[in-house]
Structure 1
């Protein structure tokens, strides 16, 4: 068997302070895996592989201060976002993009109406139905659930678009990918869960403020792009030309994947620099609840990096001993020095509004 070799991924720029994961991470992971196994969305071998078994742990890095029962819901939701593999990666979903759109529309309706009889035999729909009911029992308000439904709509739309590109073996432009990945990474849904799982509520004015929307989008995008750096080796082991930020840059610039790493990091650090500057401005006049939300966004970015640096999900795609198969190794630290802190916006129409003077 011919093995793909991992790229060199340097330390990521992230001056957000490190927090240790939740003290009950092992227990939460085990409970999530036992729970998801009851819906028959994957076989036992898949669920026990490093690529799947470690997935719930990221929630414990992203929300380490949460009550354990509420954090369990977050970890289970992370498992739900693995549906993107059935839409795309493992090819078990419909092969026609039109059929994917129909399935996605039904899933969104299940999120809106968990008591409906839609997709009764589809395991992922039942996973979604179960979590939505649990969130309601935890006291999530109708406004909070609506925010989650809308974020889920964006997620389903994004993974459908990405699956269509894969099936056509078509590499998107950098700007198209920025918009696609904002949605397909599922991070907007993670952000929507913070208020309901921590037991606070933002006002409608806060939720819809352009500055808060921009920070939410940037945090979701940064987390998804960071996944692209860490998951590139795993994706290349499954697909010689994955749709990934690195490969999008390589295609756009006609360069090697390793050369594209630096180009992609340059854009990523520009966004991180803007996120940090705008976050500091918004915090100056923020309410206590909004400050809690912004802290959650910070931890979503930082916790995702800390999880990704040490998980076998990204290091060991061949599920083998490092003496026998290639493993990826990542720096176990971040850097406080950006590769690009230029305050000017990039020439990408889908995201330039994040740099508007009046947000």
Structure 2
């Protein structure tokens, strides 16, 4: 276990996947920073800019999660990574703006405003002429830059690639609103509810489709909807989501959002401490990781090279997310983001293990996902 925050230790991570980084990252990083400044992605807030570009450093996340895409498509992917974290970082320190993934954190953050933001962003994704007037300055810049990124996608991608991404982005917005509504009602979701809410309320699903666009994968609907691939995508998404829950729990607990996290949900229902809940979350996570590895092995034997590439893409995402999370101040510096991130903050020391904490290859006791294991037969 790694001491991470007072009274909280991270488990060893079972992830037998090699780390990777896009070879053009340094050049693309400079272009991403220039774009963010030229478009006003961070407004006039120097602290928000510092947290976005250096505290969160989301372009690094997708350079690790998608290390093999052609340069110009990779650039679009990294821009979206910067964009998508603006709202999440913004809503904690600016109570006048609800973030894209901003769960209610106080009396000024109302569900109605979150729904309004979600609707505006979905409209903006349909094109620059769909950016609606009204709303806060933050809403306007999120809408405008979202439209610009999707327009870039349309200029080089196929209609199918773009539509698959937009469909997942809509699912993500809806998932965030669903989870936020439960929390605003003051109710802790059940493990089953939270699993499905977290599955939708995750940037992984649109991220996978954007990475498929970046690698120019062109699977037919029949190939893309193959049950083994669909299940591998879902399993990878939950592994990443639960890894994020483990790493971000101290940060979310600091902001009063610990019950919107698998650690907090398990702790509530088992009536145990968050640290004790970590072992249960890790066991569930490792069993789904083992499922994913079995499905990845199955996909790797496909005659279709693009199916094999999609399976590898998912593997890179799982490992890349962990490497990025360890490297940045976002999860290490647990503050209200009213000052810039410390410049020399050491990374989180990750422990790795070659063996899952729970070696069973039987379905976990979460009914909505128990059928996933049928795809190993």
Which runs of 5 or more structure 1 residues have no equivalent in the other structure? Answer: none
The corresponding residue for 1:59 is 62
Q: Equivalent residue of 2:15, what SS?
A: coil
Shift of residue 84, structure 1, vs aligned partner = 4.8
Distance 2:219 2:319 in 1: 22
Change (3 A) 1:35 1:276: same
The corresponding residue for 2:361 is 343
The corresponding residue for 1:46 is 48
Distance 1:322 1:103 in 2: 32
The corresponding residue for 1:296 is 313
Q: Within the alignment, does 1:96 sit opposite 2:110 as a pair?
A: yes
Shift of residue 236, structure 1, vs aligned partner = 2.5
TM-score (normalizing by structure 2): 0.84
Q: Equivalent residue of 1:22, what SS?
A: coil
Q: Which string of whole-angstrom CA distances, capped at 9 and with x for unpartnered residues, describes residues 61-107 of structure 1? A: 11122233322211111122225527965552283324423432332
Shift of residue 149, structure 1, vs aligned partner = 0.9
Shift of residue 14, structure 1, vs aligned partner = 0.6
Shift of residue 321, structure 1, vs aligned partner = 6.4
Distance 2:16 2:368 in 1: 26
The corresponding residue for 2:11 is 10
Q: Which string of whole-angstrom CA distances, capped at 9 and with x for unpartnered residues, describes residues 306-356 of structure 1? A: 111222221123467699xxx897443421100113122122222223122
Which runs of 5 or more structure 2 residues have no equivalent in the other structure? Answer: 99-107, 135-139
Distance 2:363 2:346 in 1: 33
Matched-pair contact (CA < 8 Å) for 1:29–1:54: no
For residues 187-226 of structure 1, the aligned pairs below 5 Å read: 187-226=204-243
The corresponding residue for 2:104 is none
| Match 2:130 to one of 109, 112, 117 | 117
Return 169-178 or 238-247, whichever deviates more.
Answer: 238-247
Q: Within the alignment, does 1:306 sit opposite 2:319 as a pair?
A: no
Q: Within the alignment, does 1:182 sit opposite 2:199 as a pair?
A: yes
Q: Please tell me the root mean square deviation across aligned C-alpha atoms, in Å.
A: 2.7
The corresponding residue for 2:147 is 129
The corresponding residue for 1:107 is 121
Matched-pair contact (CA < 8 Å) for 2:66–2:316: yes
Shift of residue 234, structure 1, vs aligned partner = 2.1
Return 220-229 or 262-271, whichever deviates more.
Answer: 220-229
How many residues were matched structurally? Answer: 350
Distance 1:53 1:130 in 2: 21
Change (3 A) 1:207 1:6: farther
Return 70-79 or 248-257, whichever deviates more.
Answer: 70-79
Return 330-339 or 142-151, whichever deviates more.
Answer: 330-339
Q: Equivalent residue of 2:252, what SS?
A: helix
The corresponding residue for 2:28 is 28
Distance 2:224 2:179 in 1: 28
Return 41-50 or 287-296, whichever deviates more.
Answer: 41-50
Distance 1:27 1:120 in 2: 35
Change (3 A) 1:103 1:312: closer
Q: Which string of whole-angstrom CA distances, capped at 9 and with x for unpartnered residues, describes residues 203-222 of structure 1? A: 11111112111111111111
Matched-pair contact (CA < 8 Å) for 2:50–2:341: no
The corresponding residue for 1:71 is 74
Change (3 A) 1:177 1:240: closer
Q: Which string of whole-angstrom CA distances, capped at 9 and with x for unpartnered residues, describes residues 31-60 of structure 1? A: 333423433555221120377452221111
The corresponding residue for 1:317 is 334
| Match 2:181 to one of 164, 167, 185 | 164
Shift of residue 178, structure 1, vs aligned partner = 0.9
Change (3 A) 1:47 1:12: same
